[in-house]
Amino acid sequence: MEEIIFPNQIRMYRRLRGRSMQELADHLNVSLSAISKIEKGYRRVDQEQLVRVAEFLDCPLQELFVNEQNSQQEIVLAWRREQERRNKINEKSGLKTLGAGLRQIRNEKNLTLIEVAESADMTLSVYHRIEMGQREVSDKEMKNIAKALKMPLDELKTEIKELDEKGFLEEIIQRNDAKYKLLSTPRGAIASFGSSFQDAAKVSVFGTAGREGNVIIDPEEEVKQVPCPLALQNKKDIYGVNLCTRRLGSLLPARSVLFVDPQEPVSVGDIAIYYASETEAKIVAIRENDAGQLYGIRWNPDEKISFDNNDLQKLQRVVFITL
């Protein structure tokens, strides 16, 4: 999943458990300053870090997310103000237009996110955030991106400007905004079944327990159908996977369903389905090493899964989880 900035109840649970900020910092292997910013909602935190925080604080993962029913009103209002502030900064700096332009040009050239990221000497996560309009770009990075797109830098800037003036980027910006809104809602990227699902379309769910915590996903053996989350109803290729393994820990209930979109790129912090064979898959959390290479991890017991370039094509991103 995308890196998430969100108001959270981490500080409340940390104090309830009698744990210090330093203890949490040591557990996540980050600085004390980083924990302070995470607790205030000013620093990015990915899905894997959230899982580790919930394990450390011995609380259900979903309880870390702020929601209007259970959280203090001032926290929710502070979150909304922070999101409005960030959106205004992005609009003024033209990041949304730049990101939409880069995505349009990349698609026209039939290049993938991975191809451009690698050619521009960036991680997939960084370049994806640039296209989403959620990250500033240095002059050096722009030169590398232009080179990856096989265009002179001035020509790239001119083409993005012309695309914007002709109105070709508005739809991409709206789609990016919708994705960002989904990921940055105070409820977070995880939801429970509720009234909003009542009239939703159905999604096929697959997955039975396999050996060593793997999941057998056979397109010919549908386990059940569930309502499609409203946020995903415009996606044509999504499918559900039963959480029939404890290799992600015990924080998500066994009845959880992972919604997978094969078309979405996988990046650092995501939970993903890794197809070790045609029907046998591993549910992994995505990390990145010092060389910028992605790898997967599982727990109970701990396991690191290395990926080569071919393996990256076998990864499919979990975009939504129902509890």
Same-domain status, 112 and 204 = no
Q: Are residues 96 and 50 in the same domain?
A: no
Q: Are strands 190-191 and 315-322 parallel, antiparallel or unpaired?
A: parallel
Q: Is 170 within the bounds of a domain?
A: yes
Question: Residue 219's domain is classified under what CATH number?
Answer: 2.10.109.10
- 283 in the same domain as 162: no
Closest by Cα among 67, 76, 57, 60 to 10: 57
Beta strands in the chain (DSSP E): 190-191, 202-206, 208-209, 215-216, 224-227, 239-242, 257-261, 271-275, 280-288, 294-298, 303-306, 315-322
Residues 224 and 308 in one domain: yes
pTM summary value: 0.45
CATH number, domain containing residue 45: 1.10.260.40
Same domain, residue pair 214 and 296: yes
Q: Compute the distance between CA of residue 42 and CA of residue 37 in angstroms, rounded to an integer.
A: 5
Cβ–Cβ < 8 Å for 144, 101: no
pLDDT of residue 196: 37
pLDDT, mean of each 10-residue run, the chain (323 residues):
58 84 91 85 73 84 63 61 60 75 90 87 80 81 93 92 82 64 42 38 90 90 87 84 82 79 85 91 88 86 87 88 78
Residues 198 and 178 in one domain: no
Residues 309 and 201 in one domain: yes
Answer yes or no: is 111 within a domain: yes
175 and 196 together in one domain: no
Instruction: List 323's β-bridge partners, or say none.
Output: none
| CA end-to-end distance (rounded Å), the chain | 16
Domain-embedded: residue 39: yes
Identify the bridge partners of residue 297 per DSSP, sorted by sequence position.
285, 304
Q: How far apart are CA 286 and CA 266, in angstroms?
A: 8
Q: Sign of the C-alpha dihedral, residues 59, 60, 64, 66?
A: negative
Residue 305 confidence (pLDDT): 92
Pairwise CA distance, residues 57 & 322, whole Å = 22
Number of structural domains in the chain: 3
Q: Where in the sequence is the domain holding 46, given as residue range(s)?
A: 1-70
SS3 71: coil
Domain assignment present for 75: no
Does one domain contain both 220 and 272? yes
Angle at 174 between CA 169 and CA 179, to 5 degrees: 125
- Give residues with Cβ within 8 angstroms of 265, minimum separation 6: 112, 113, 114, 124, 128, 317
What span, in angstroms and rounded, lies between the C-alpha atoms of 125 and 41?
Answer: 20
Q: How many residues does the chain have?
A: 323
* 76 domain residue, yes or no: no
Let me know: does 291 contact 225? Beta carbons within 8 Å: no
- 184, 214, 232 - which closes a domain: 184
Same-domain check for residues 130 and 27: no
Q: Are residues 65 and 180 in the same domain?
A: no
Q: Where are the alpha helices (DSSP H) in 109-202?
A: 113-119, 124-131, 139-148, 153-165, 170-184
